[in-house]
Structure 1
Amino acid sequence: MGIENRTLTATGVMLGTPLYMSPEQVVGAKGLDHRTDLWSLGIVLYEALTETTPHDDSETLGALLVSICSKPARPIREVAPHVSEPVAAILAKALALDPLKRYQSADELLGDLKSAVRFGTRLDEAMLAQRPFELVRDESEIEPSMFPIFDSSS
């Protein structure tokens, strides 16, 4: 199953983007509330830190929906060991299967996020040593763009 099938809201089938749907949303529970939105926010935060979602290993839409409803979110530190323990705990709570065990308000979630950020983040030397690109020291090393933004001939 292509990823595009799991990331788009299906018209007339269910309301929501499957990878971001809460367990109660998947089963069509009545009376969905803000905790469903907090779940989805937790998924977005998880994805921002890992470039994947906690149930992204499911091969079919059906398997994805079963996974969301029955399996706890994959612990973020298994995927991204650089994530701090406080942030990992926040995401585990935000993505609890039972809405009663999740954050009960956005203010509560925000308070924990502020506390986690207050203590800062720690980057180890190996992370700092990895550089996605080399800095150019000499302008003569810069190749002209194939598609210049400005036409210098005019």
Structure 2
Amino acid sequence: MQQDDLVAAAEIHKDAFIRQRNSYHWLACNLVAYPRILAYIATHDERCIGYCLWTQKSGFRPEVVLELEQIAVSTEFQGKGVGTQLISESLQDVRSILATHGSALKHVLITTRADNSAQRLYAAVLGAKVEAVINNLYSADEVIMVARDLSHIGQEPRSPGVDNPLQS
């Protein structure tokens, strides 16, 4: 994600996270937190159709616990494999960035509402499993998912109909 992508990504954020406010400011703050936060977009016909944020947890460490802090895909492109591709391809890039800093990926952490159907995506793409439930944390119960074996990431085929999907 680059500064020029913020307006389009903020629109996607606003539609996906209706209880959150100040979408542009939220994403702008995250964008300048590199390398702690790594921000990516998916594009179609040179238009931003989704984004994701990866956050290093608990300092810069040799073995990184990485949080998939946020992912959103434009409603027009949901269910077409964009989220799968965005996660797997951006995670490959994150691994490369970590390696240049002498670090390796240990686990991926995800928190999401207990009723969020995206849990199926996180399980399918990352192998994440629910490890805990926190009652009434934000707007409802929140689950903590952890993906511990990530050796399979990057072996998924590209989704049809999405061109040049990943940009950092």
TM over 0.5: no
Question: Which structure has the highest helix share of the two?
Answer: 1
- TM-score, reference length from structure 2: 0.26
Larger RCO (CA under 8 A, 6+ residues apart): 2
Highest CA radius of gyration, 1 or 2?
Answer: 1
